[in-house]
Chains A and B, each alone.
Chain A
Amino acid sequence: MPTVPILMPQLGESIAEATVIRLGFKVGDTVRADQEIIEVETNKAVMGVTTLCDGVIAEIRAKEGVSYSVGSLLGLLEVTEEEVARTGVDTLESANENRSQANESEKTNPQAEANLHFALDESDAYEEAPAIEPNVKGLPVPTGTMGAHYISPRMRARMNDLGLREADISAVAGTGAGGRVTVTDLERFLDYLEAWPSVSASPMRLAVADAMRRSWTRPLATVGLPTLLDRVLEHRRSHTPKPGLTLYLLRAFALALTENPATAGYLIGDKIVHPRSFDIGVAVQVEDGVLVPVVRMVDQKPLRELIAEYDDLVDRSRRRRLSEADCKGGIATVTNFGTFGLTTGTPIPLPNETLILGLGAGVKKPVWSNQTETFLPATTADIFLTFDHRVVDGGGAGILLQRVSQLLQQPELL
């Protein structure tokens, strides 16, 4: 037979508890619906607790003279199924499914945790909350969080403390959400590095590193072209003082650019900034780095007039006597990595320039001659142009490079 709980009712908005002063019935008594069966007293008044349906008192838990908080179980009533259906009362069985709202005030406290100022009573005074969707917006992990792509403010602050950039942590495997590198990952990596020998990087090294890293944020492409150097070498031998090989390249580059100035354009947002003057830098290898002094108005001066200026800049570079102004305002750079015996390279332009022209080492090769219809020995070198593909395409780069190559075949025009 179903059991219906007799609960201490809410006897007013602000009443928290009431004292049982008289139990009107004993176990086994039959009671009628709406009959007052227990008399209770609040601070305000004496009231009767009524039953909700007909039934037989099965159990009395309340004791006279004891206070019970609202919702406490005072007793149980045995009720027929028909009566439950007729009155629609909650039975103990159905109530148990939802857990009782009763706050059994007599229940003792569990041991208080030492570090807490309060003890939590294990008995819930309210219903267990249903599994509801919490009213917070979700926090989807952003796409592209792998590795160093997402850096939290905390991670950024730690990296700044340590003087680190994204590039520096590319070696760290992330264990954070979405493969993110966390501060812990970073600290672990740094601990691991502790075991390795290390030296402090020079300011020159750090400056080059900074420039190269910044430049590398762009889509850079490199194209190359074999070029005959015999005419240039011949021209060079017959001149005093001898112009450096790089100077030919510099002058050829400047003239080619005057015909295609747009290729040296620099993209900023939705604007392309065009060169104001054909000032071109020359990469000079120095101890522990590279300096790029700028030769001014290369298009305006014939080769022989440039020799002294060029030699002076190279000399001062090697002695580290360049001023800041010497290195400013270039629109492109020329680098002759052929001096290191290298034939192929993909140089990287400075971060504020779109182009860099590189020259590989000259090599004696048999070259087919249409005139003689035989292979003839010739000195060739590959020239390379690296460009910011946002500004220049392969076609534009090709035209520029072809033109440089052609000009190198007519050194007297330079």
Chain B
Amino acid sequence: MTDDVVKNRKFMRSIFHSMLRARLLENKLSSLYKAGKIVGGVYLGKGQEAVSATLGTCLIPGQDFFAPLIRDQAGRTAFGEPLIDCTRTYLGSASGPMRGRDGNIHRGRPTMGMPAMISHLGAQVPVIAGMLFAKRLQGTLAGRVGATCVGDGATSTGAFHEGLNLAAVEKLPMVVIVANNQFAYSTPNTRQFACHDLVEKARGYGIGGFAVDGTDLFACASVITEAVQRAREGRGPQLVVAHLLRLSGHGEHDDGSYVPRENREDHYGRDCIDIATRQLIDHGLATEEEIQSWHQQFADEVQRAVAQAQQEAVPDPYREDWSALSSSVSPAHQHSNQKEPS
């Protein structure tokens, strides 16, 4: 099966496209941040593109659910989020999905299967479970998968544990990817968990567990495809732990200087884009020229998305609807929600 997956030209090229689009977009975001164009933080998924894009590519938009986290630009792109959603949210355009009410990576399209993350780690795990649970009750769960990504840090939260355990109890078709990028902000793995490998946790939850080299596109493609397939077949939640290194700071305000040089120079310090480029060429899945042209094409796409978002109106505090409720329950609108007693 593994061989079949990596020989799938369309699939592998598709993953790589999302990786590359995400990387070029994030490079641009970083430069916008350094030019003072972005208010608030910029959080990059540099080094995690292979894992994230593979997951996003394995999922079926319009059918599956995907709750991306902080470093999932590649997965979002693969799942169908247009680049403009990202640039609009970062640049505070009133036309973006969050309309200036939330920023940066806190964006989503909940009605299109992609909930908007909150900052509290692990919190999206039970939300994806709930979306799947709804489909079970509605009788339309068959063939669907829900997935979310977390980092090594999130595995220490109660929410992660509660959510994963609940998903296991409910036997939901869920994939949870832990991108172990070795640092939660500045905290290394040694201060985060005491097990040998986070994938050991899968056994405790009674769910499927996979470990993968997150810098290796081919490995990601075969392992994550396998995990998603198992979930889709109704074999319950699957935990995939990807080993890699965060190739940026926690955010662009952070130079990540606390990451020791030996970590950067070891196997997991490799850049997955470089590895993937070589893999595609070596296996005849793409030519060097093609990849060159993709760089140019995606850089143009990114530039257009940035230009458009920059020209759009920002939210107007005087016209903002300062209401956090969708229903009118104030005494002034008292009759709008009445329901006759049975």
Direct touching of A and B (C-beta under 8 Å): no
B-side residues, CB < 8 A to A, are none
